[in-house]
Structure 1
Amino acid sequence: MRRLPLASRVAGALLLCGALASCSSISTLFGGSDKPMPAELQPNPASMAVRQAWSAKVGAVAFPLTVTPSGSQFTVAASDGTVAVIDGTTGRDVWRASAGARVIAGAGTDGSLVAVVTDDNMLVGMADGKVLWREKLSAQAYTAPFVAGKRVFVLAADRSVSAYDGQTGRRLWSQQRPGEPLVLRQGGVLLAVGDMLVTGQGGRMTGLNPNNGSVRWDAAIASPRGTNDVERLVDLVGPVSRLGTSVCARAFQAAVGCVDASRGSVVWTRPANGGVGVSGNEDLVVGAETDGRVVAWRRDNGERSWIHDKLQHRGLTAPLLVGNSVAIGDSFGFLHVLAREDGRLVNRLATDGSAIATAPVVVGNTMVVVTRNGGIFGFVPQ
């Protein structure tokens, strides 16, 4: 059998890694080394009481899903094109409909309009269970569309950022900057901070004018290094931790850092070898490294606060820091709850046995997780 050129094999492997969100490192894709054994689970102390309040179901999820809360509801999508708005208190559908094609990015919402991207490169706007419009994109997108101010913003795989009218889908503007040739098939950075649109383009966080796409500031969390395209891949990955104008994010396999979005200045960066985003509060920024260590950095200066090393090689999601706890999913369907102050395990919750698809989110008083098999679970503290 004829082998593909090296560049094609590398690109394919990177896309696969982003799609599965469980590759332990880029290096394991080449060289034939054995995959590390996942750490055995500790006894569950169950020292923090949490109960499963409800469960629901969508189709299988094989793309970089974003679960978007809005008030007491949240929006979720499945690979088969299903888009659902669900009540976070009961787990019941508010509405459910089809986007008309397989979904590869989503779902974004402002509480009224829902936007997803399908595998035929269509941006689809939906509301109240109906498709309102479809608009062709110039490139694939793996980051969930961001919906705000009656507009839909899209970060595409060619590193372009575009704005679309939320009522008609008409493109309003598009801005593109040069970057490295490889891109992750993984959710990137796209959010609002005040009157700015903040996005990740390569290893840089950029503040844009949402009215026309002009650049207001540009801050480097990591710079491409190395002698080949894989080593130079430093895309910012979501989710991020935003607190006021402080935005903290991860550059893939390179660094974690915080930016003051009011000035566009880097507050700190620290070397970090991870592939999923971060969460945080006023004191800490927390993320999972490629080897499964969970690390907490001080938000003010980036110094390490604690490390939890009992979940190594378990294919961790990005974490959720909420209240006194840090919740993080793994590729075996478990949700691990750690203490915020020192990272010790305080509870472990089971889902359906398939990998957790994305970082947990809080909807009202409920913590919601979604699995690759499409299981949706709502957990509440007791």
Structure 2
Amino acid sequence: MAHGKSFLVLRGMACTALMVALAGCSLWNGSGSKPVPADLGANVPILGVRQAWTARVGSVGGLPLDVHTAGNVVTLASADGTVAAIDARTGGDVWRVALAEPLSAGVGSDGKATAVVARSNALIVVDGGRERWRQPLAAQVFTPPLVAGGRVFVLSADRSVSAYDAATGRKLWSQQRPGEPLVLRQAGVLMPVGDTLVVGFSGRMVGMNPDNGTVRWEAPLAIPRGTNDVERLVELVGRTSRVGESVCARAFQAAVGCVNTARGSVAWTQPAAGAEGVHGDGDAVFGTESNGVVTAWRRNDGTRLWTTDRLKYRKLTAPLLLGRSVVVGDDTGLVHILSRADGAPLNRIATDGSGIAAAPSVAADTLVVVTRNGGVYGFRPE
């Protein structure tokens, strides 16, 4: 609890309680059984991929994990408080630290300072494998902190944004925003775009002055509607796709859209029933829907380019656009490599079967995926 608000909608909540309002639970059909996922058929590896290395970080289950990449280094965390920087070329540790307390959000990094948030509501900053400082927070945090410009920015579940000096931990400013009473226990939007801090509040993308938190512009991707708090939930979720001044994002179970951050205006929105973020480039934006359908939209106007139901009824991660491929993970631990042109399958890779815990990422020409059991896998083209 914080500021008198009750944060009730969490990713781990039973689907039966909210099946009508949360399309993220749409795989439950009301009869006590789930629809059978589409048959994948035989794997025909059109695009050759080999496993280059494996590593471990500890169980990620229950942690809204964001994998951070900078150069050749991948930084990630486990639910029990292990934070590790891994060399994507070899899979070996650059550094590793055990904070010995469970985490609620992680990780953010600028390649030097790494920030996570403990379930005890403590912001913890690590530098080179050693804890530099920690500061108490007033509310829970599910979005990885942003480390940029010598500062650490935190988006809390009470819809406050705070900034801290990355070297000392001194609090620089804090701004409170109004919003709906429910939030999601998953990562939201918190990113730098030029000299603007871009933050997701409910269904709005908001540009803030990083020096003091004042609002420069607001752009709504989705408007809360409905007769109760659950139906009105339209939180923006990570990951996002940024190309220059264009930032595209998903509003939970409501829409996908792009914002021109120079003007602070919405370029387009399209209805979309998904719970994970998007990725893309200057030509297209890609997303996964809650029923396992993968969709591509034209970036400049939101026109739908294609959809594929080959992964229907599988719970998918947010996608990664990688060259001519769109990469998604599923809850059985498979990594699906699809054609960016039409969604056709190019290859399928198995991991440890525990489910892919975060959107795939790339560093040092290596595709990196993390499983719920804490397996870290590096794949490269053959």
Provide closer, same or farther for how the CA distance between residues 30 and 15 of structure 1 changes in structure 2, counting only shifts above 3 A: farther
Is the contact between residue 247 and residue 261 of structure 2 (CA under 8 Å) also seen in structure 1? Answer: yes
Which 4+ runs in 1 deviate beyond 6 A? none
- Written as runs of structure 1 = structure 2, the 5 A alignment for 1:14-33 is 14-16=11-13, 25-26=24-25, 33=32
- Written as runs of structure 1 = structure 2, the 5 A alignment for 1:341-352 is 341-352=341-352
- Spell out, residue by residue over 1:129-160, the C-alpha distance to the aligned partner (whole angstroms, 9 max, x if none): 11010100110100000000110001111111
The 2-side partners of 1:286 and 1:216 are apart by 28
The 1-side partners of 2:232 and 2:90 are apart by 45
What is the aligned residue count? 371
Gaps of 5+ in 2: 16-21
Match of 1:125 in 2: 125
What secondary structure sits across from 1:46 in the alignment?
Answer: coil
CA drift at 1:99: 2.3
Gaps of 5+ in 1: 1-6
- Spell out, residue by residue over 1:161-217, the C-alpha distance to the aligned partner (whole angstroms, 9 max, x if none): 110110111111111111011100000001100001001000000000000000000
Is the contact between residue 175 and residue 213 of structure 2 (CA under 8 Å) also seen in structure 1? Answer: yes
- Which of residues 5, 8, 11 is equivalent to 2:8? 11
Identical aligned pairs, as a percentage?
Answer: 57
- Spell out, residue by residue over 1:315-352, the C-alpha distance to the aligned partner (whole angstroms, 9 max, x if none): 10000011100000000000000001111000001111
The 2-side partners of 1:156 and 1:34 are apart by 36
- Spell out, residue by residue over 1:104-127, the C-alpha distance to the aligned partner (whole angstroms, 9 max, x if none): 100110000000000100000101
The 2-side partners of 1:210 and 1:11 are apart by 29
What secondary structure sits across from 1:25 in the alignment?
Answer: helix
CA drift at 1:40: 2.1
What secondary structure sits across from 2:8 in the alignment?
Answer: helix
Specify the code of the residue in structure 1 equivalent to 2:205. Answer: M
Deviates more, 1:255-264 or 1:97-106: 97-106
- Indicate yes or no: 2:356 matched with 1:359: no
- Written as runs of structure 1 = structure 2, the 5 A alignment for 1:81-230 is 81-230=81-230
Provide closer, same or farther for how the CA distance between residues 12 and 29 of structure 1 changes in structure 2, counting only shifts above 3 A: farther
Match of 1:3 in 2: none
- TM-score by structure 1 length? 0.94
Specify the code of the residue in structure 2 equivalent to 1:159. Answer: R
Match of 1:252 in 2: 252
Is the contact between residue 273 and residue 290 of structure 1 (CA under 8 Å) also seen in structure 2? Answer: yes
- TM-score by structure 2 length? 0.94
CA drift at 1:33: 4.5
What secondary structure sits across from 2:59 in the alignment?
Answer: coil
Provide closer, same or farther for how the CA distance between residues 35 and 102 of structure 1 changes in structure 2, counting only shifts above 3 A: same
Match of 1:4 in 2: none
Is the contact between residue 42 and residue 310 of structure 1 (CA under 8 Å) also seen in structure 2? Answer: no
The 2-side partners of 1:303 and 1:42 are apart by 30
- Spell out, residue by residue over 1:278-321, the C-alpha distance to the aligned partner (whole angstroms, 9 max, x if none): 00011110000010000000001101101110111111000001
CA drift at 1:15: 4.9
The 2-side partners of 1:153 and 1:130 are apart by 20
The 2-side partners of 1:331 and 1:76 are apart by 19
Q: Cα RMSD between the aligned structures?
A: 1.8
The 1-side partners of 2:207 and 2:28 are apart by 34
- Indicate yes or no: 2:316 matched with 1:319: no
Match of 2:232 in 1: 232
CA drift at 1:42: 2.4
What secondary structure sits across from 2:13 in the alignment?
Answer: helix
The 1-side partners of 2:30 and 2:345 are apart by 35
- Written as runs of structure 1 = structure 2, the 5 A alignment for 1:265-344 is 265-344=265-344
Is the contact between residue 14 and residue 26 of structure 1 (CA under 8 Å) also seen in structure 2? Answer: no
The 2-side partners of 1:25 and 1:122 are apart by 29
- Spell out, residue by residue over 1:17-56, the C-alpha distance to the aligned partner (whole angstroms, 9 max, x if none): 79xxxx9634667956432222222221100011110000
Specify the code of the residue in structure 1 equivalent to 2:366. Answer: T
What secondary structure sits across from 2:205 in the alignment?
Answer: strand
The 1-side partners of 2:210 and 2:231 are apart by 32
Is the contact between residue 10 and residue 185 of structure 2 (CA under 8 Å) also seen in structure 1? Answer: no
